[in-house]
Amino acid sequence: MGVILTYLIFNKDYSSTQSKSVVEASTPSIESSSQPSPDGLWKVLMTTTPLASGSAQYIFSTVDKSNIQQEIYSHITNEKYMIPFNAWSPDDKYVFIQKDTGEAYVFTRSGDPITSLESFLDVKAIFNQTERKDIYDHVTGWASPSLLIINTMTDNGEKGSSYWFEVPSKAIIQLWGDF
């Protein structure tokens, strides 16, 4: 009887510890950040869930004043995303997110496809297709409801020209001066 009781006690302790470990391993810390639209009617929300592999799952949603969320994009990566201060177009129709390496992606607020063939626009990839001397650096914000501003670098590391990137036509227009 004593042997049986002893076994049960130690087994219970082990089970509790094991359960506790399992609970800790299955509850990664989820971080979230958001940016309101300039008029305060919407916000874009980013939730970041670290994964065991060292990468993270990023989920982007737009949220209205009634707190109704609409997921617009999800990606598992070991790169880092951020929501820039100027994420929203002035008319709240588009939102762009950015990686810490400067790549920018433009979405519709609703998550609907931004063109007939694309669910979002990869600004850097489109800029690079134009084969310009200036090297894409990052997007600063919206010059108007449909124009993003791209900042560039020259190949000797100096600041290059700025460009407008028109959404959704993808037209790229060099500007006089830079931002």
R_g of the chain computed on alpha carbons: 23
Q: Give the interface segment with other proteins, choosing from 52-60, 101-109, 110-118, 143-151 (CB under 8 A).
A: 143-151
Task: Please give the structure tokens belonging to residue 14.
Answer: 């082990």
Instruction: Kindly determine how many residues on this chain lie close enough to bind other proteins according to the rule CB under 8 A.
Output: 20
Does 33 engage in binding with other proteins (CB under 8 A)?
no
Does 105 engage in binding with other proteins (CB under 8 A)?
no
SS3 96: strand
Does 90 engage in binding with other proteins (CB under 8 A)?
yes
Does 89 engage in binding with other proteins (CB under 8 A)?
yes
Any idea how long the chain is?
179
Looking at the Cβ atoms of 55 and 137, the one nearer to other proteins is 137
Helices within the chain (DSSP H only): 2-25, 123-129
* Contacting residues for 81 by C-beta, under 8 A, at least 6 apart: 46, 48, 58, 60, 75, 97, 98, 99, 100
Does 142 engage in binding with other proteins (CB under 8 A)?
yes
Under the rule (CB under 8 A), what is the footprint of other proteins? 36, 38-40, 85-86, 88-91, 140-147, 149, 179
